[in-house]
């Protein structure tokens, strides 16, 4: 073997894929699960008709990322939930996300309440709200009401909205932020917490929503499935 060949091999050899994994091996995407752990109604929305003892809350979720991808989620998938004063609804899946190393995703979670179900308007509101995530945080509070107008004009109560940022940083996944957009307060922040596998406790964030005369507590949880 010539000296030239030896020198060339010393340069490219470390970057070749070797059996069993190497620095050049592609990392698998991280599969993340977000869950609504609890939705608690400390006070129901107002005004309400005499004898009306329950709210019909629902969540509109707008998702920006990874990359230029956008999507929406309606929870429940159809219709609205039902909740009474001081009732806490149990855990239910919110969204599953797949993040490659270097990916990030932003979510806008809006909690609304209303007796009338308007599927097309609710879908439109969730889709339009995705654009809010591309704007500076300071502008979000003023841009969101017009986005939610399709459902508000039919009498829906807007309890509040929050944003989340999740990242995959070289294979390690983090819940980087939980921020209020309108009529809410962060009671427990998961900011900077690593999302671990199912073998460990999920990371939780809690917010208080206070729009439309109501008072709700929303607990979100995140963990890594793989």
Per the domain annotation, does 14 fall within a domain? Answer: no
In a domain, 145, yes or no: yes
Residue 137 is assigned to a structural domain of this protein: yes
pLDDT value at 4 more than 80:
no
Task: Give residue 10's pLDDT.
Answer: 47
Burial class (CB in 10 A: 0-12, 13-18, 19+), 217: middle
> Is there a domain that residue 21 lies in?
no
42: containing domain: 30-224
Q: Residue 78 domain-assigned?
A: yes
- Work out the pLDDT band at 198, boundaries 50, 70, 90: low
Q: Residue written as tokens 């979000």?
A: 140
Residues near 33 by beta carbon (within 8 Å), at least 6 away in sequence: 93, 96, 97, 222, 223, 224, 225
| Residue 27 confidence class, pLDDT cut points 50, 70, 90 | confident
Residues 6+ apart with CB under 8 A from 115: 56, 155
Q: Is 18 inside a domain boundary?
A: no
Condensed to tens digits (0 to 9), the pLDDT of residues 48-78 reads 878 889 999 999 999 999 999 999 999 999 9
Determine the Cα–Cα distance for residues 47 and 30; give it in Å rounded to an integer. 44
The mean pLDDT of the chain is 89
- The burial class, CB within 10 Å (0-12 / 13-18 / 19+), for 97 is buried
pLDDT tens digits for range 163-181: 999 999 999 999 999 999 9
Whole-number Å distance between alpha carbons of 142 and 138: 8
- Let me know if residue 197 belongs to a domain: yes
Domains: count for the chain: 1
Does any domain span residue 93?
A: yes
Instruction: State mean pLDDT over 119-133.
Output: 94
């Amino acid at each position: 073997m010539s000296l030239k060949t030896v020198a060339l091999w010393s340069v490219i050899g470390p970057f070749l894929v070797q059996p069993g994994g190497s620095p050049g091996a592609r990392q698998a995407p991280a599969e993340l699960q977000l869950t609504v752990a609890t939705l608690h109604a400390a006070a129901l929305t107002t005004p309400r008709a005499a004898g009306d003892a329950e709210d019909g809350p629902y969540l509109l979720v707008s998702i920006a990322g990874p990359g230029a991808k956008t999507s929406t989620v309606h929870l429940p998938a159809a219709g609205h939930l039902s909740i009474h004063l001081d009732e806490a609804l149990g855990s239910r899946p919110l969204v599953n996300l797949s993040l490659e190393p270097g990916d990030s995703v932003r979510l806008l979670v809006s909690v609304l309440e209303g007796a009338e179900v308007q599927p097309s308007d609710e879908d439109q509101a969730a889709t339009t709200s995705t654009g809010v995530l591309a704007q500076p945080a300071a502008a979000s509070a003023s841009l969101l009401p017009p986005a939610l107008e399709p459902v508000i004009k039919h009498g829906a109560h807007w309890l509040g909205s929050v944003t989340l940022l999740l990242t995959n940083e070289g294979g390690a996944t983090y819940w980087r932020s939980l921020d209020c957009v309108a009529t809410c307060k962060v009671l427990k922040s998961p900011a900077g917490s690593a999302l671990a596998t199912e073998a460990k406790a999920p990371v939780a964030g809690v917010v208080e929503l206070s729009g439309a005369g109501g008072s709700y507590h929303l607990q979100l949880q995140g963990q890594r499935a793989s």
